[in-house]
Amino acid sequence: MVFNHRIDTFLKENNIKVVFLDDLNGKGLYIPKERTIILKSELSKEEQILVLLHEIGHLINDENVPGSYNKHYAPRSKMENKANDFMLRELLCSYLLTTGTEPTDINCVVFLECEKLPLSLENDVKRILSEGTAKIGIY
């Protein structure tokens, strides 16, 4: 299965399986005990990459957040934010590499529209960019 080189390498090095299911309730999920990411089979290739990056974000960050994802809102919200941050960092890294744009020159709205992401993530993109390029593309 080929998503992109960075994703494929990460999945292989961490022994993560990706499975596609019809009629999945949601776009994707990560099952830690199975080391498996499940994606809804109806997703386009672009959506698969977005959801896959988000789920990898869960894989990397969730164990560092105290509390239960399913039982409490606060830990769930924090886990979702960290997964979205990971996805945004990876997309920003790819965007910088493919466009040759300097981080200080990124128009956040143009970036989000290019990636087909909601404009509600604009402040998150600005925050990530303000943290510096060392924090973009961390795996």
What SS3 class is residue 63?
helix
Contact 110, 82 (CB under 8 A): no
pTM for the model stands at: 0.83
10-64, pLDDT tens digit by residue?
899 989 999 999 989 999 998 888 999 999 999 999 999 999 999 999 888 766 5
